[in-house]
Structure 1
Amino acid sequence: MNLEYIELSKGKRIGSWLRRRLSDTYGLDTTLWRTVTLTMWLLTCAAVGVAALGMPTGFGTLFDVVTGVALNTIAMALSSAVLAAALAISGARIPRFTTGGFVYMGVVVYFILYFSEFGWKGAIVFSAIFALFAVGLGMLVGLLARLRGNRRKLSLLAVFAIALIVIYAAAGFPRLLPSLSGSVYDADADVSDKGEVSSLASKLADPAVPGAYGYTTFTYGSGEDKHRSEFGAQTGELSSPVDATAYLQNWSWLRERFWDFDEKRLPLNGRVWMPDGAGPFPLVLMVHGNHLMEKFSDEGYGYLGELLASRGMIAVSVDENFLNYSVWSGIPKRDMELRAWLLLKHVQQIQSFNQLPGSAFYERVDFDKVALLGHSRGGQAAAMAADRSLWFPEDSALPEASSYAIKAVIALAPTDTVVDGKSTKLRDVSYLTLQGAKDADLVNFYGDRQYGRVSFSPNSEAFKSSLYIEDANHSQFNTEWGSSDNALPTGLFIRPEHLLKPEQQRQVAKAYVSAFLETVMHDKEEYDRFFRDYRLGLGFLPATRYFNQYEGGGFRQIADFAGANRTVPTSGVTAEASEMTGWQHKDALNRQGNGKGDQGVELEWKDRGSYTINLTPEAVSDIRQDDILMFSLANMVRDMEDDEEFEEAGELEAWERMADSDMRIDVELEDRSGRTSRMPLSRFMATEPQVETRFTWLPGMESVLSKGKFEDAEEPVYQTYELPLKDFAEENPEFDPSEWSRITFHFIEGPGRVMLDDLGLMPN
């Protein structure tokens, strides 16, 4: 009995003690600290609201933001109260509710930044800065609120003005800062002084100008789309859903709830731009890449669809939004194969329409001329669909391989992920890829890897071309993806400077896509030189720097620099070097130092040097007087920045001079009689400085964001050079091109580094 009394008494004392402690939980949260708490709540709501914009639910932006702010308010109130109670029990003599709000704010902002690819270190630093800023701002507002009369009003207005300026600076002011990647390039100044190039550039018609065809637009779809009436009740033609269970078994319930279908009934939805007339017309299927699932992407290529239809091609923008990423349901496994498979199912569906009297497609499609255009993951999917025997060798559900012919693949800023240990290798398919140097989504030129794996049979009519655009990014190829490559809040920090305007970037896409398909589908030879020399398009391309590669089926390779033996660039051909500090065969590397799967010869020199390739009679046995010497060269001077030899001030100054200027290179040809002809490479095309891109506006952020993928500011990119042999014969009439036996590259000043690849001959 006494023991029970003691326990009860002890419990009463503890309860009484707790009540005393908790009775004054908020006693130290004075008016000043309440103002701080209010400021923290407002800024936390702003942070959560911004994060909500990057995590759409599909119910609309207003719903997402309001819901995020409401949940944040409830969570902050509860968390602050619980922490305040704990602090009161501990006896801490600090403003407890405010402290609880401070801790909550730091944790919430930390997780927002951490899941926005900041990494834990960057998230800690920036969440701490954000929380301390909120406290400081709140204290300042609270102190000024104690003033009287007009001084109080003016002071508060000044504080809120300062706060707005700080927020604006974080959100948009970086675009007004001086460029971190150099000034805007004057493309007009790059036109060669050679009259031939200038005259051709002035005569080349702008392929981005609409053609002579009128056209109609309509859609085909399931007729049951939950979100878009154009694929639902208002669709122009009904398509049949497809069963993708052979490639997909992890369709989540959230994804099914959003779309109202599962992997057994994937819809075939397409937006069509159809030329007027009987046809038959070439078919161009366009497919988007991975974007937020709830923000539909297929409308984003209407500018290309309209242009291509006006030029006599049926353009279809394929809907694969249901395969895209969602914050809430992730992304389906094996999505790359699915994207390619669905493209082929669209071909099959259009074949059915083409045989159906009454269909808008009826007998109007030329299935011997099919092109696939893809953006981002869609660019890889387009290449995979063109190489169907590698990915779907036994899939009888696909259209007969002989019932259509894919003549062309276009990849806009494509991915190039290895899938099941395999990578696509196209053969005798014309290929075009475009990439922006300021692509903050895919920072590496993965289209360059695809380009390297495209090959041709001797004298094939197919060709491949690539274009690297200094001031282009990833998203602006699609009108629905906005101007930033990164969702909020990461997009506030990743801000490359001097981006092309959206319409300018799409002007580049229109010009190249249109010219490419006119060449492949309509056999218009006038655009062939445009892919070999971008300068021919400077009359209609926006002002920025461009780097292009080209190779056609008529290219006869002399040296590909494969293999470890640097003295043997290719079997039967030898090489030697003089005064070189570095000379090796190696993979071209991207920003992360990973190989692109294509070897070249890397040459490095301090002051000057030379590199010579000795040719056997067999290597140039079929040489013609009008042949063009062709090779790819990448300026890599900026990659030397961290080399030890530049630690001394004099060497660093020399490197800086070389990094910011055109490279001086002479090319010398020699015949078997020892007669030579030597010309500066700049006579044909300048070897321009390497592109440098700074992706963030805060110093040091490149190494923090996205596990350091933005840390390297440059990627070596090849430029194809064409040197007509007849020009060397004109320079020295005694030189006989038919007896050509040696080529020497003379590097006039240094320090310097280049990579050389794909040296050969091309018919004029």
Structure 2
Amino acid sequence: MKGEYSHFSSFFMRINNLIAKIHSKFKFFILKHFGNNKKANIIIKIFISMIIASDYYYYIADRGYPALAVFLVCSLILYILVSLFTYLCKNIYLLLKRFRANNVVLFILLVYVINSALIKCKNDSKLLKSDILIMSLIVGIIIFLFSKSLVSFVVNKKKISFPIFIITAISVIFILAFLVFPGYSEKSAIEYAEIGTEEIEDPAQFSSKLIEYGNKNPKEISLLNYVSYSGKKKKIRDTYFDKSLLEVPIKGRIWYPQNKEKSPVLFIAHGNHRFTEENYKGYDYLGRYLARRGYVTVSVDMNMLNGFMKYGLSGENDARAILLLENIKEVLALNNNKNSKLYNLIDEENIVIAGHSRGGEAVAIAENYNKIRYNPDNGKEYNYNFNIKGVISISPTVDQYNPSGKDIKLKDVNFLTIHGTHDKDVTGFQGMKLYNNTYFTEESNNFKSAVYVAYANHGQFNSRWGSADTDPPQSLIVNKKSLLEVEEQEEILCKYVYEFLQNTFGFTNDKTLFKNPQRVNMPKTLYYARYSDSSFKNLVDFEEDYDLTTSKSGKIRFDNMSKVSEQEISIGGYNTNNTAVYLSNNKNGIYQISLDELEDAREYLQFDVKTKRQEKFEDIDLSVELVDDYGNSSKLDISDYLNIYPDIKVELSKLQLLSNSYNYKGSFQTVRIPIDDFILRDKLVRTNIKYINFVFGDDYSSSILLDDIGFSN
């Protein structure tokens, strides 16, 4: 080993001597033929100053000063600054030359590595690049001095280094403790969460059983029509999987209720995570829960579409949709095969598909592909036609795949999307766009719901993904203490999925969890719940134009408002491409909708509302008033029907302690007020509603967003 080191040392010494000889000869040649030309540096600095000045001087000249004079003055000032900068850099260079080259290289490399790791946390921490560079320098100096003083004191027995060793050792311990500890609990808003007493969970009735399919000699399909990859990425991926995307296996695992035939089924597709992890096994908790209550759960293995480091795929969610549909086809074929262990296990008339992350977008695509005859991108003929009655999108992406460049839309199918405020992967509530793009014909009997869960993250919906939503070393900076406990987040998903299945398959007609989760006994947190169904007649949705005085059903009038505007809505930082009206109260403000045609109020007045407050947990001073064509009116306080939550503080990174900068996130909540309550309070003819008035009180701080105003059953 010593011989090899000596060999390399000798090699680099010869290289160094060669470079020194070349430099010496070049320097001698310049001095001999050109003389000392240091004064040329003045000319170079002049050019540098003039080039920089040309980028800015006209801003001053525009104020009426002579352009040439301004240019020359700016160039002079910049010349002085450039001279100071070069002088400073020269002295830093001379200072660095006094250090051993090995020390300089290692220190620069250390700071670079620390800065590279921290810069990936910049968005979460709300720190500037300059802040992160300073932090990297400080940490680099601490580690460097600690290493040097440790050797000096322990190995070289130099007692004078002991104070430096102690100070830096304490600093290193503090840094390590900061990285290891899970974070600080900022869940103060939970104490304001309103949790009800209604029980929705049915007791377990069956034993749960697990079976794998496709592990031995699986059927394979090609997904190359939907995914393109090549070069190093293809070589590494194909080597790892020992096959290409020409041979994607159809496989997964099934949880089912023991001794029960023809059970309704949920197929679930995981999203993009390291392909070194068996991602499809991360929903075992959900499979067990549903199996014990009479449902089959099929978790589809999509690992061959997942990524690792730089070797992931993009725009492949249509491939995930095809893989899901092909798995449904295979499982249902086994279900009809008398020689299969799956024979007669599934009720093929009752299917719901669910997906997480990219899988959450893929299931919406799959629902579309299940209905259409030809692929919109390549004309391939489909013939799936499964009886899919519902779609569940868990923390989904959207717009990673758009057929023919158009949005994915769902029609006459039940839909649920659920997302967490503390999702660090899919940071905004993208599923809200799918919610807005889900439509019902009036004769259908469908519903949709969008639920934003406070303090839930991305990864804890899959037990294999963990709580960080990112890989090391960035995961060491995540504030995990601000999250729901993993058991709570899993329980929330289990209950929502179960209730969705119960209502979709007609085993119950109780949609309380979707309409108003504040009445249900759930894990304690805030649920921002949005709901609509095919009985809803949407009178005002603010999508038709930008005229503040018109709606698709009539005229708009407003008084005593400090601000009224129609604006695109962002939920969790994601623009949903949906418009709502923003109302800011002055004092006793009123926003009136005058209907062109008299309306039958049906059973409920329904509208979506979002407050603009941040962690201000007080009732909003807002009432809603109905007026009929005879002049009879009745007014009710919104806070008597739903606790409208403000946006909550979101602290994703432990480094936010340093920046003291935070995001605030919240979402719309659907308010449903029984028409009978208006009638009981005052005389009102429910079939002749002429005006809907939103009336503010004296609170100047009241500002809200309103959307989707109408009547429903």
Taking structure 2 as the reference length, the TM-score comes to 0.79
What is the distance in 2 between the residues matched to 1:243 and 1:222? 18
Q: Distance in 1 between matches of 2:640 and 2:657?
A: 40
Matched, 1:366 2:352: no
Seen in structure 2, the aligned counterparts of structure 1 residues 278 and 239 have a Cα distance that, compared at 3 Å, is farther
- Name the residue aligned to 1:240: 219
Is 1:523 aligned with 2:518?
no
Alpha-carbon deviation of 1:101? 1.5
Q: Deviations over 1:488-540 (max 9, x none)?
A: 22222232653110000111001100111111124312x32221110232x2x
Match of 1:281 in 2: 263
CA contact (8 A) 1:287 1:375 kept: yes
Q: In 1, are the aligned partners of 2:409 and 2:438 still within 8 Å (CA)? A: yes
Displacement of 1:240 in angstroms is 0.7
Residue number in structure 2 paired with 1:596: 576
User: Which residue of structure 2 lines up, in the alignment, with residue 204 of structure 1?
Assistant: 199
SS in 1 for 2:439: coil
8 Å CA contact retained: 2:455, 2:484: yes
Aligned position for 1:291:
273
The answer to whether the 8 Å contact 1:345/1:399 transfers is no
**Deviations for 1:576-632, whole angstroms, at most 9, x for unmatched residues?**
10111222222212454x6312222121234441111112444x1x444xx111110
C-alpha distance after superposition, 1:300-336 (max 9, x if no partner): 10011112222222211111112112115x2224311
Match of 1:62 in 2: none
Q: CA deviation at 1:154?
A: 11
When structure 1 is superposed on structure 2, of 594-603 and 120-129 the one drifting more is 120-129
- Listed as ranges, the matches of 1:701-720 within 5 Å are 713-720=663-670
Is contact 1:344-1:399 (8 Å) kept?
A: no
Q: Secondary structure at the match of 1:185?
A: helix
Q: Which amino acid aligns with 1:739?
A: N
Q: Counterparts of 2:418 and 2:431 in 1: how far apart (Å)?
A: 7
Residue 207 of structure 2 corresponds to 214
Shift of 1:550: 0.7
Displacement after TM superposition at 1:121 (Å): 5.0
The answer to whether the 8 A contact 1:222-1:241 is kept is no
Structure 1 CA distance for aligned equivalents of residues 494 and 609 of structure 2:
27
Distance 1:569 1:343, change over 3 A: farther
Q: Which is worse superposed, 510-519 or 304-313?
A: 304-313
Please state whether the residue corresponding to 1:637 is helix, strand or coil. Answer: coil
- Aligned partner letter, 2:709: L
Aligned to 1:742, which of 691, 706, 713? Answer: 691
**Cα offset, 1:246, TM superposition:** 1.5
1:148–1:239 Cα change, 3 Å: closer
Contact map agreement 2:253 2:299 (CA 8 A) in 1: yes
Pair 1:348 & 2:329 matched: yes
- Paired with 1:321 and 1:108, the residues of 2 have a C-alpha distance of 31
Unmatched tracts of structure 2, length 5 or more: 1-12, 22-91
Is the contact made by 1:460 and 1:552 (CA closer than 8 Å) also made in structure 2?
A: no
Contact 2:548 2:566 in 1 (8 A): no
Alpha-carbon separation, structure 2, partners of 1:601 and 1:382: 31
Q: Conserved in 1, the CA contact under 8 Å of 2:446 and 2:534?
A: yes
2:606 to 604, 624, 630: 630
Question: Where does residue 337 of structure 1 map in the other structure?
Answer: 318
Distance 2:364 2:606 in 1: 26
* Distance change in 2, residues 1:520/1:88 (3 Å): closer
Displacement of 1:128: 2.1
Verify the 8 A CA contact 2:555 2:593 in the aligned structure 1. Answer: yes
Structure 1 387/561 Cα, relative in aligned 2: closer, same or farther at 3 Å?
A: same
Greater strand content? 2
The SS at the match of 1:476 is helix
Is the alpha carbon distance of 1:702 and 1:220 closer, same or farther for their aligned partners in structure 2, counting shifts above 3 Å? farther
Of 321, 329, 332, which residue of structure 1 is paired with 2:303? 321
Residue 199 of structure 2 aligns to which amino acid in structure 1?
Answer: L
Q: Which residue of 2 aligns with 1:429?
A: 413
| Equivalent residue, structure 2, for 1:101 | 106
SS of equivalent to 2:438: coil
Moved more, 430-439 or 157-166: 157-166
Per-residue Cα deviation, 1:455-498 (whole angstroms, up to 9, x for no partner):
11104211101111111111100100111112122222232653
Shift of 1:143: 6.5
> Paired residue for 2:497?
513
Q: How does 1:149-188 map to 2 (within 5 A)?
A: 160=169, 162-172=171-181, 175=183, 177=184, 179=186, 182-187=188-193
Letter in 2 for 1:450: L
Cα distance in 2 for partners of 1:155, 1:131 equals: 15
The structure 2 residue matched to 1:722, chosen from 649, 656, 672, is 672
* Structure 1 residue identity aligned to 2:519: L
1:438 equivalent in alignment to 2:422: yes
What is residue 576 of structure 1 aligned with on the other side? 557
The alpha-carbon deviation at position 244 of structure 1 amounts to: 1.7
Which residue of the partner structure matches residue 69 of structure 2?
A: none
**1-side partners of 2:115 and 2:279: how far apart?**
30
Q: CA, structure 1 residues 169+113, in 2 after alignment: closer, same or farther (shift >3 Å)?
A: closer
**Does the CA contact (< 8 Å) of 1:368 and 1:405 recur in 2?**
yes
Give the equivalent residue in structure 2 for 1:611: 591
Residues 673 and 254 of structure 1: is their aligned pair in 2 closer, same or farther, counting only changes over 3 Å? Answer: same
1:82-161 matches, within 5 Å, as 92-114=97-119, 124-138=133-147, 140-141=149-150, 145=154, 160=169
Question: Does 1:453 pair with 2:403?
Answer: no
CA displacement at 1:16 relative to structure 2: 11
Instruction: For 1:544 and 1:566, locate their aligned partners in 2 and report how far apart those are by CA, in whole Å.
Output: 38
Report if aligned partners of 1:216, 1:275 keep a CA contact under 8 Å in 2: yes
TM-score relative to the length of structure 1? 0.74
1:312 is paired with a residue whose SS is: coil
Q: Which amino acid aligns with 1:383?
A: A
Number of residue pairs the alignment of both structures matches: 618
> Residue 327 of structure 2 aligns to a residue in which SS?
helix
* Structure 1 gap ranges (5+): 1-10, 20-86, 192-200, 224-237, 639-657, 704-710
Q: Is the 8 A contact 1:243 1:263 kept in 2?
A: yes
> SS of the residue aligned with 2:497?
helix
- CA 1:244–1:723: 2 relative to 1, 3 Å: same
CA contact (8 A) 1:438 1:496 kept: no
Q: Are residues 1:311 and 2:278 paired?
A: no
Q: What is the distance in 1 between the residues matched to 2:480 and 2:590?
A: 37
How far the C-alpha of 1:97 sits from its partner, in A, is 2.4
Amino acid at match of 2:366: A
Of 523, 530, 541 in structure 2, the residue corresponding to residue 549 of structure 1 is 530
Question: In 1, distance between residues paired with 2:382 and 2:19?
Answer: 80
Is the CA contact (8 Å cut-off) linking 1:408 and 1:430 kept in structure 2?
yes
3-state SS in 2 of match to 1:401: coil
CA distance in 2, matches of 1:486, 1:629: 43
Residues 343-363 of structure 1, C-alpha deviation per residue, up to 9 Å, x if partnerless? 011111113212322112223
Give the superposition deviation at 1:186: 4.3
